[in-house]
Chains A and B, each alone.
Chain A
């Protein structure tokens, strides 16, 4: 069982060249940055807000904010990490407006270590996702991740779906590395347990596995 491979695209040097050109007023360079990262920002926004229209708003607001604050961008971190930070904040603000009764924060209370010990340890069927149609699988994955607190699903989507490193995730969320690791473990284990309801081996013994 090896390590999970990350999928991050786009060479960093090109990004910096585009950012510097955009800073000098080259809008086509900025448009190229939009083209490069709009899919990522949309995915992140929809994972956090769980609402398509909100995600569309977040994409627009995040890029516009990046554009209008470009002069303040320090070029010490990657533009993408900076953009993700803006988008995450916009997405969390949307959630707060919708659910004012619940504080939505990345610093949600983390309970003691013990509650992350998996209770459910039944094995899954081989290739469990193939038991469902694409549409059913999307529904399952979407419902499952919705059940996670926003702080957990934000860390999970940045780290495991978008492939940011632990350090980049920490920088984008202004969290410490240990805090990212702790939330990531909990998010992964909670998702695993919830998905188990759909993917566990059937005990029927019909021998078709």
Chain B
């Protein structure tokens, strides 16, 4: 496996959807190609950092306010029909 082929399969590898032979080939490549190992490892960390970051969490007070506004508008829609939306 060449570095470009590794890169082509990287997303499938990280998503755990590679077939066994390709996965074994890729892991063999990673065992001796330090650059690809670093790319793979840091890409995985990138995903984990974003996934665990709790970036843009909805604060409780805003959440309550939004939900109440949504339900009020829904009820207005129900009562008066589509022209109020």
Contact A181 to B11, CB < 8 A, known contacts A39-B58, A129-B49: yes
Report the separation of the CA atoms of residues A199 and B43 in the bound assembly, to the nearest whole angstrom: 12
Whole-angstrom distance between the Cβ of B66 and the nearest chain A Cβ: 5
- Would B50 and A141 count as touching, CB distance under 8 A? yes
Report the separation of the CA atoms of residues A196 and B39 in the bound assembly, to the nearest whole angstrom: 10
- Would A122 and B85 count as touching, CB distance under 8 A? no
- Would B62 and A56 count as touching, CB distance under 8 A? yes
Q: Does A179 contact B (CB under 8 A)?
A: no
Contact A188 to B55, CB < 8 A, known contacts A30-B74, A60-B73: no
- Would A121 and B56 count as touching, CB distance under 8 A? no
Sort A-B residue pairs by CB-CB distance and give the 3 closest, nearest first.
A3-B16, A46-B56, A42-B58
For this complex, 28 residue pairs linking A to B, each with C-beta atoms less than 8 Å apart, are A1-B30, A1-B40, A2-B16, A3-B15, A4-B15, A27-B74, A27-B78, A30-B71, A31-B71, A39-B58, A43-B58, A47-B55, A56-B66, A60-B73, A63-B70, A64-B73, A123-B38, A124-B41, A124-B45, A137-B53, A141-B49, A156-B50, A161-B51, A185-B10, A188-B43, A191-B46, A191-B50, A192-B42
- Would A192 and B43 count as touching, CB distance under 8 A? yes
Contact A60 to B66, CB < 8 A, known contacts A117-B4, A123-B38: yes
Question: Number of B residues whose C-beta is below 8 Å from A?
Answer: 47
- Would A188 and B51 count as touching, CB distance under 8 A? no
Report the separation of the CA atoms of residues A81 and B59 in the bound assembly, to the nearest whole angstrom: 23
Report the separation of the CA atoms of residues A30 and B62 in the bound assembly, to the nearest whole angstrom: 19
Q: Which residue of A lies closest to B58 (CB)?
A: A42
Contact A161 to B38, CB < 8 A, known contacts A38-B63, A116-B7: no
Q: Does A12 contact B (CB under 8 A)?
A: no
Report the separation of the CA atoms of residues A78 and B80 in the bound assembly, to the nearest whole angstrom: 29
Q: Does A67 contact B (CB under 8 A)?
A: yes
Report the separation of the CA atoms of residues A34 and B12 in the bound assembly, to the nearest whole angstrom: 33
Q: Which residue of A lies closest to B3 (CB)?
A: A117
Given contacts A4-B16, A160-B47, 11 further A-B contacts (CB under 8 A): A43-B55, A47-B56, A60-B69, A64-B73, A67-B70, A118-B7, A121-B38, A142-B55, A185-B7, A191-B50, A199-B42
